[in-house]
Every structure is written in C-alpha cells, then in structure tokens.
Amino acid sequence: MMGRFRRQASLTTGRIEAFSDGVFAIAITLLVLEIGVPELGEADSLVAALGHLWPSYFGYAFGFFIVGVYWVNHHHLFSLFRRSDHVFGLVNVLFLATIAFIPFPTSVLAEYATQPTHQAEAIGFYLFALILPALAWNLVWLYASVSRRLIDERLAPAYVRHLTVQFALSIATYTAAFALALVAPEAGLAVAVGVSLLYVMPPRRPEYLAEPVASTHGV
Amino acid sequence: MMGRFRRQASLTTGRIEAFSDGVFAIAITLLVLEIGVPELGEADSLVAALGHLWPSYFGYAFGFFIVGVYWVNHHHLFSLFRRSDHVFGLVNVLFLATIAFIPFPTSVLAEYATQPTHQAEAIGFYLFALILPALAWNLVWLYASVSRRLIDERLAPAYVRHLTVQFALSIATYTAAFALALVAPEAGLAVAVGVSLLYVMPPRRPEYLAEPVASTHGV
Amino acid sequence: MMGRFRRQASLTTGRIEAFSDGVFAIAITLLVLEIGVPELGEADSLVAALGHLWPSYFGYAFGFFIVGVYWVNHHHLFSLFRRSDHVFGLVNVLFLATIAFIPFPTSVLAEYATQPTHQAEAIGFYLFALILPALAWNLVWLYASVSRRLIDERLAPAYVRHLTVQFALSIATYTAAFALALVAPEAGLAVAVGVSLLYVMPPRRPEYLAEPVASTHGV
Amino acid sequence: MMGRFRRQASLTTGRIEAFSDGVFAIAITLLVLEIGVPELGEADSLVAALGHLWPSYFGYAFGFFIVGVYWVNHHHLFSLFRRSDHVFGLVNVLFLATIAFIPFPTSVLAEYATQPTHQAEAIGFYLFALILPALAWNLVWLYASVSRRLIDERLAPAYVRHLTVQFALSIATYTAAFALALVAPEAGLAVAVGVSLLYVMPPRRPEYLAEPVASTHGV
C-alpha cells in the first residue's frame, strides 16, 4: 500500500546548481582575504609596499579567472544533465571542495612567490592544487555520463566522447604544467596560465541525436 | 471586517531551504580559512611545512563531507514538509547555528591535533561539536513531525517512525564516539568518521499512504 | 514615440529579498570567525581555555538568534509590500549594513567581556550597536508605509498603525537597555536578551480591509 | 543528424544576475572584517579606542554604499539585456573581480588614513581602486550594447547613447577624483564621496522604440 506516489526528486540538478553557485561565489570572493595589508614603518612608502604585493594581485586575478571559468562551464555541463541522485550530489560536493580549496594555495603563492628559497615549492604546490578540480570535474562527468546515467539521452554519442576526451586532456595539461614546474617553476606557471586562458573560448555547443519523427511507420 | 484574505505564508519552506542553502554554502566554504599559511625560516622546507598541516587538510575534507551530507539530507527532509511556521523558521535557525559552528572546532582540531599534550582534548571537543547538529536535526524533525504538524499528511506512519528512530540513533552514535574518545581519542574519531561515511548511502525513499481512491473497482 | 512599453521593475521586492537573504546568511555565518582559537602553553588545559571563551559562545549564539529573528521578520514584512523603487532598495541596503555590522561589536564583546576594566564599555558598545538595526528597520517601514507608498493598499489602517507603534517600541526598548547598561551593564544586557527572546513569538497576522464586493446584497 | 534541437542557453542573464548577487552580498558583508578589534592595555579606554576607528567605520559605510549602489544599478542594467553568451559571462566575472576587491583598499584606508606620513598614499590607492569597477562596468556595457549584441533591440538608440555617455562620465569622474587626490588627498576623497551620493537618484527609465503596429492607419 506504500510507495505509490511519485514526487519530485528532493535534490534536483537545479538545487545542486544553486548550491554550487553559492560556493563558487563565496570562494571567488574570499580570494581577496589573502591580500594582506602591508605593515609599514614611518619611513616606508605605502605605494612601494603595495607594489610588492604583486604576487597577491596575480593570485587574486588568476584565482578569480579560474573559478569564474569553472562557474561558467559548470552551468554549461549541467545543461546536459536531466537527472540527479544522492551520490551525484556528494560527488559534486567533492568537486566544490577542490574549488573552495583554491584560496589556500593562492595564499601560499602570494606569501612565498617572492622568496627565492621557497618560490619553486610555492609554485609547485599551487600548480598541484590546480590539478585537483580538474580531477574532480572528470569524476563528476564520468559519474553522470557512463551508461548515460544522468545526462540527456538525446545527446549525440560523438559529443559525449568529445567531452570525455577534452576533460581528460585538462587533467593531462595541468599535470604537465605541474611536472614542468618541478624543473622550471616559472615555465610551469606560464603554461598553466596560458592553457587556462584558452577557456575564454566558448565550449562547443551540445549536439543532439535527431528526434524520432512523429508521423512514422517503423521507428 | 478584517482577516478575510488568505495570503501565502511569508516564510515558506522554499524560503527556509534557500536561506539554509546559503548558510550551508558559506559554512562549507569558510572551512578553508582554518588552514593557516605556514611561517617559515629561510632554511625550512615549504613542502615539509605544508605536509605537517595534515590535520588541517583532514579537518577541511571531513568538514566539507559532513556539511555536504547535511545539505543533501536537509533537502531530502524538506521534501517531506508541506507547511512552515514562525517557530519552525527559528528552530531551523538553531540547527543552522550548529552547522555554522563547525569551522571553529575544526580550527581547534587543526591547531592541536599534533600536540601530544592537547590532542585528546582537541579530538574530544571536535566530537562533542559533532553531537550538536545531530541534536538540532532531531529538534527540527520532532517539531515538524509530532502530531504531523508540518509534514505531508500522506506520509506513511511507519516511514515517519523509521526516520524518528534513525535520527535518534545518529545522536546516540555521535555521543558514543565522543564517549569513546574520552578514553581512546583516535578510536572515537575513527568511529565518527566511519559512521559518517555511511551517509554516502542514499536515504530511504519516502513512503506514502495509498490515496483514498475516488471512483474505484478494486485498487 | 518612446516609453510606450511597460516592463517589470528592474528591482522587484523578490530581488531585494533574495539579496537580503544573502547578506543575512553571510553575516550570520561570519559570526563564527569571532571565536578565536585559544593559544596555549604546554601545561595549559585546552578544555579550560575553551571554557573561558564563554563570552564568544554567548556572542555567537545571541548574534545568531538576533540575525535569525530579523531574517524571519524581514520576510514577514516584505510579504506586506507590493512595490519597490530605487530609493527603497538603498534604504534596505542601509538596514543590511546595520545587520552585517553585528559581527564587529560581537567580537568586541567576546574580547573584553571578561576584563573587569573594559567590561562595562564592551557591553555598552554592544547594546548601542543593537539599536542601529532597530532604527534602520523603522526607516524601511516608514519609507514603505507612509502614504502607503509601497505596501499592499488593502492592509487595514489599524494593522499598519499597530506595526508602526510596535517597531517604534523596539527602538525605545533597545535604547532603554543601552541606557540602563551605562549604570548597570549586566542588567542592560539581560534586558536586551530578555526582550529579544520575545521575538520567538510569531508576529501578528496581517489584517486586510474587506474587499469591495462586486455583485452585492449587503456584505 | 546533429544539432537539430535548440535548448535554453546554459548561461542565461538570470543565472548571471543570481551569481552576481551572491558576489555582491558576500563582498558587502566581508567589509566588516576590516574593522579590527582594538588591542588595549589595562588603563586604556575602550570607548576612546573604538572612536579612533572612525576611518574603519567610514570605510565600512562608504563601501557598503558603493557596493549597494552597484548592486541596484546592476539589476537595472540587466533589465535591458535579452541575451547572454560565454564571453559576456566572463566579462561580468571581470567586473565582479573589481567589486570583490573593494574590501582590500578599504582595509588599507582604515589602517593608514590616520597616519600622517601614509594618509595621502592610502587615499590615493583607495580612489584608484574605485576607478576599476567604473572601467569594468563600461566594458560590460560596451560588450553588450555595441551592435546591440545582447541588449533589447527595442531600446531607443538615444537611450543607449545616453547610457554610454553617462557610464563613460563615471570613469572620468572617478579618475578626476583620483588625480585631485594626488595633490589634495582629502579633497579628492570628498569629490568621490559627493559624486557617489548622486547615485541615490534613480537611473533614468528605459526608453523603447514604438512597436511596429500590426493593423495600422498612421501610427
């Protein structure tokens, strides 16, 4: 006598998007807290001290860009999903954990990027931290797309494969930038920044299978 | 001549959910602030110092998981509610206060988990703080479910009882983990983590009474 | 040839409510940042140190309660509004500024409430800060209700007057608590807490004028 | 066989507005964190110390006002938009980066506005930082309005030109305030505050072209 009624899923993709937007917005705004007000003596120049904070400004600007790009692409990705489930909600929370973590390596970079003895390590740690959201992003995608568990069933298989390859490549790229940084920190950082800037380009439009035509014989 | 018009409640369950989502999203994102940038001398290794922060990483990861699980389940719970009232809004605020508090014991744990003389106390305080949301969650549920004040009246009584028991058990479990920690801190922490991981499992689907059938033959 | 098209106001009451919810949610969650992790020597007891933070816990709990109550009542108030305008959006921003300010006097209270020489001043400053949202709330209400600028025109005049008086009384009460604190700090604080707890009671239901009946015999 | 289906854009103007509201709400609420709790000796007066924080209070109040005004006007602006695209999402993220940055120059101002040797530099930096959102705002507008890429095609060309001129003037004004501050810091600050207060005035109502009338004689 039970279970006869169907109700809307308690955790819709819309809810997950709204929660994710909240985390994106907070993580992106918290980045400003890593820029520390310089402490000056009487004779010091405030302008000079503010100038020396350039690693903080770089960290703020690039962090804003990275999180902003993930936010835009997160909406693009979710426009491909039709369903959601409990585990998917938690997999997305895992992805958000890698986004919300970004202010920490950014602070480390800002603090140590100008100290010759620690610069290489700071850049390495920063680039390592950029691999994490790429990994978690792939987990979100694979959970949703394998066996078409959650995605729109009308999506063209070629398009799904295209995304799978493209997302896997982003892990490879950030890992390569990290590996390069182990021998040449600034080159590694430059590669990561350069590759990230490519995301200014819009993602490829979703491609759908032709709909089964209504007035048919056969299918 | 007054009071003839009925209007939507000013505080709908949707509003409460949206506000709660905001608090969940902020509390979860603030967890990163407890990870302090290490202070180094010239000769120190940054990588080694970052490695020593493992209690902070654990606190961040587990806090993210705990708050994420509460967020998912909060939506599940609210899918069972049909109504809301002023006091319920405040009871939910009380629950949110226990969630938004989590960054503090997490900071305490991160700071003192590696200091032998304070480790036991830090773990104990952390586990104590995990009892609080479990308690408040039960308050939310009891306020809503006793006499079916706010919940969907079609919910099966057995399902309501099932939740009441399950939620009460969560208090018992976290209290047991805390009690265990008083004699064996690490074991208590392990129990709390282990039990929490069970919440990766989806909650049981709501069960509803059969609807009174209007025009029937059989069912 | 211009201005023929009417569009939705760019700043609806719904938008203002959503933005206000964001500020409420952030301000309430930031309260946890005022609880500082205690610094200990080897021989100090962490539990004892955590116990000494009781002014911080009080500040957290009472701040959460106050902001939570304002949040609930803000929704109640906005359920009475039909329109909005540019200046009203900014008057509401002013109100939000007094809410978002609360973490600061809370920090001052937490820091100095246990220091005999500064306790009286800390409590006084805290109670002074509680007058500000009461003042701004009245400004929001007066801007909206005078000449029924923004409120539902069907609201009963007696109900509108009732709110005007009740809101003005809240200024008087918090001002009295502040004045009392100048001679007896703890008594002033107790009055403010006691009065605030009254807001657990739901606000009076809106009362509306009888609708002009279209096709009538009598009423 | 692909691409036959049209779906809603994954990043609608509504989504961008909601995300922007989140960043506005967080940035405005974080302003309170720049007000530091004063550190006192036994003999110091807390009230006096709190009074000396007036640059912090000014920074908080004016920052709240500035961000609040941008928030109100952002909604006004977005009411003129019909479409959105990937790049526009990122241009808006750039604008948000200039808003979320405001807490930092506010902290610098609060810290150094009362130190004679650094006051001029602190005010200059603050006014420089106020130019940034004005610049980015113009970028948002130009991206959307040039060739009517994203705006409502029925908007009257004169109204579009009016906004273009008005927004460009805001860059000029804040730049002038900054330039003035290089020779007379307090005068520059006064100009910036005075000009900003003008935004209490509502923006001019959108003007639309007459719709082509379907069944017409004349117009």
**Which residue from B minimizes the CA distance to C159?**
B2
Q: pLDDT, tens digit, for every residue of D65-98?
A: 999 999 999 999 999 999 999 999 999 999 999 9
Residue given tokens 């095609």 in the structure block: D153
Residue D173 has pLDDT above 50, yes or no: yes
CB C44: neighbour CB atoms within 10 A? Answer: 13
B20-65 residue pLDDT tens: 999 999 999 999 999 999 999 888 999 999 999 999 999 999 999 9
Reply yes or no on whether the pLDDT at C5 is more than 70: no
Note the pLDDT of residue D12. Answer: 86
**Residue D131 near residue D171, CB atoms below 8 Å:** yes
Whole-angstrom distance, CA of residue D55 vs CA of residue D32:
13
Q: Which of these, B54, D91, D25, C95, lies nearest to A21 by C-alpha position?
A: D25
In degrees and rounded to multiples of 5, residue D43 shows phi and psi of -90, -10
Structure tokens at B70: 């509460």
| Whether B153 contacts chain A with CB within 8 A | no
User: Average per-residue pLDDT in chain D?
Assistant: 90
CA distance C56 to chain B (A): 11
CB < 8 Å to D207, chain C: 2-3
Taking an 8 Å cut-off on Cβ atoms, the answer to whether C112 and D40 are in contact is yes
DSSP conformation class of A184: -
Cα–Cα dist C126/C104, whole Å: 9
pLDDT in tens, C152-177: 999 999 999 999 999 999 999 999 99
ipTM: 0.90
Helix (H/G/I), strand (E/B), else coil: A214: coil
Cα A172 to chain centroid distance, Å, stands at 15
Using CA atoms, how far apart are residues A58 and B7, in angstroms rounded to an integer?
52
Q: Which residues of chain A fall short of a pLDDT of 70?
A: 1-10, 211-219
Q: Note whether A33 and B182 are within 8 A (CB).
A: no
Long-range CB contacts for residues A196-199, cutoff 8 Å, separation at least 24: A196/A62, A196/A65, A196/A66, A196/A69, A199/A69, A199/A73
Of the candidates D21, D26, A7, C27, the residue with the CA atom closest to the CA atom of residue B75: A7
Q: What is the mean pLDDT of residues C66-76?
A: 95
Phi and psi for B35 in degrees, rounded to 5? -85, 105
Q: Strand pairing partners for D81? A: D151
Which residues make Cβ contacts (< 8 Å) with residue B41, sequence separation at least 6?
Answer: none
| pLDDT at residue B198 tops 60 | yes
Q: pTM for the whole thing?
A: 0.92
Task: Select the residue from D13, D46, D78 to test the C interface by mutation, using most C Cβ atoms within 10 A.
Answer: D46
Is pLDDT of B2 > 70?
Answer: no
- Looking up tokens 């961000």 gives D67
Q: What proportion of chain B, given as a percentage, has pLDDT over 70?
A: 91
- The pLDDT of residue B10: 64
Which residues touch A159 (CB under 8 Å, ≥6 apart)?
A: A204, A206, A207, A208, D2
As a whole number of angstroms, the distance between CA A10 and CA A2 comes to: 18
Please choose, from the candidates A62, C30, C62, A73, the residue with its C-alpha nearest in 3D space to the C-alpha of residue D27: C30
Q: CA A63, A64, A66 angle in degrees (round to 5)? A: 65
pLDDT at B11 (0 to 100): 77
- The torsion angle over the Cα atoms of residues A50, A53, A59 and A61, rounded to 10 degrees, is 30
C211 reaches B (C-beta below 8 A): yes
Residue C15 CA to residue D73 CA, distance in Å, equals 13
The pLDDT of residue C138? 98
Nearest-angstrom CA–CA distance, B136 and B153: 23
In this predicted structure, what is the pLDDT of residue B211?
64
Q: What is the C-alpha separation between B161 and B159, in angstroms, rounded?
A: 5
Single-letter residue type at D80: L
pLDDT category at B148 given cuts 50, 70, 90 is confident
Question: Which residues are within 8 A (CB) of C3 and not within 5 positions of it... i.e. 6 or more apart?
Answer: D205, D207, D208
Contacting chains of C (3 CB pairs or more, <8 Å) are: B, D
Q: CA nearest A10: which of B159, B14, B83, B76? A: B76
Percent of chain C whose pLDDT exceeds 90: 81
Which pLDDT score is estimated for B128? 98
- Answer whether residue C215 shows pLDDT above 80: no
**CB nearest D101 (choices: A32, A45, A206):** A32
Distance CA B94, CA B88 (A): 10
d(CA D32, CA C103): 7
Positive or negative, the CA dihedral A37, A38, A39, A41 is negative
Own/partner contacts of A202-206, CB < 8 Å, gap of 24 or more, are A202/D85, A202/D86, A202/D87, A203/A73, A203/A76, A203/D86, A204/A159, A204/A162, A205/D3, A206/A79, A206/A80, A206/A152, A206/A155, A206/A159, A206/D7
Confidence band, pLDDT 50/70/90 cuts, at residue B218: very low
Which three-class secondary structure state does DSSP give residue B114? coil
| φ/ψ bin of B148: left (φ > 0), alpha (ψ from -120 to 50), beta (otherwise) | left
Percent of chain D with pLDDT over 90: 80
Q: What is the pLDDT of residues C91-135, one digit of tens each?
A: 999 999 999 999 999 999 999 998 999 999 999 999 999 999 999
Checking if the pLDDT of C82 tops 80, the result is yes
- DSSP assignment of D149-185 equals SSB-TTB-HHHHHHHHHHHHHHHHHHHHHHHHHHH-H
- Nearest CA among C102, A30, A38 for reference residue D105: A38
Please tell me the distance from the alpha carbon of residue B71 to that of residue A90, in angstroms, as a whole number: 10
Q: Say if B143 is an interface residue toward chain C (CB within 8 Å).
A: no
Contacts of C40 in chain B (CB under 8 A): 112, 118
Which of A178, A21, A183 has its CA nearest to residue A105? A178
Given the structure tokens 């950082």, which residue do they identify? A189
Query: Using CB atoms and an 8 Å cut-off, which of residues 56-95 of chain D contact chain C?
Result: 60-61, 64-65, 68-69, 71-72, 75-76, 78-79
A115 at the D interface (CB within 8 A)?
A: no
Nearest-CA distance B17 → chain A (Å)? 10
Distance from the B122 Cα atom to the nearest Cα atom in chain A, whole angstroms: 23
Contacts 24+ apart (CB under 8 A), B160-168: B162/B204, B167/B134, B167/B137, B167/B138, B167/B141, B168/B138
B198 touches chain A (CB under 8 A): no
Q: Whole-angstrom Cα distance, residue C74 to residue C199? A: 12
Distance CA C57, CA A53 (A): 36
CA dist D48 and A96 (Å) reads 44
How many other β-carbons are positioned within 10 Å of the β-carbon of residue A210? 12
State mean pLDDT over D138-164: 94
Shortest CB distance from D121 goes to which of A47, A60, A210? A47
Longest dimension (CA), chain C: 86
* Positive/negative CA dihedral, A110, A114, A117, A122: positive
Nearest CA in chain B to C47: B121
Helices (H) and strands (E) in chain D, counts: 8, 0
Q: How far apart are CA B41 and CA C49, in angstroms?
A: 29
Q: What is the pLDDT of residues B57-86, one digit of tens each?
A: 999 999 999 999 999 999 999 999 999 999
pLDDT above 50: residue D18: yes
Tell me the C-alpha distance between C176 and C180, whole Å.
Answer: 6
What is the tens place of the pLDDT at every residue in D37-71?
A: 999 987 899 999 999 999 999 999 999 999 999 99
Taking residues C32-53, report their average pLDDT: 92
Residue bearing tokens 């390592």: A128
D100/A32 touch (CB, cutoff 8 Å), yes or no: yes
Neighbour-count burial of D6, counting CB atoms closer than 10 A to its CB (0-12 exposed, 13-18 middle, 19+ buried): exposed
Q: A66 and A193 in contact (C-beta within 8 Å)?
A: no
Touching subunits for chain A (3+ Cβ pairs under 8 A)? B, D
CA–CA separation, D54 and D35 (whole Å): 10
Q: Of the candidates B4, A91, C3, which has an alpha carbon nearest to the alpha carbon of residue D211? A: C3
D51 touches chain C (CB under 8 A): no
d(CA B98, CA C31): 12
In angstroms, the CA B49 to CA B54 distance is 10
CA distance D79 to chain C (A): 5
Whether the Cβ atoms of residue D78 and residue C12 lie closer than 8 Å to each other: no
**Residue B12, pLDDT above cutoff 90:** no
Conformation bin of residue B147: beta by default, left when phi > 0, alpha when psi is -120 to 50: left
Q: What percent of chain D has pLDDT over 70?
A: 91
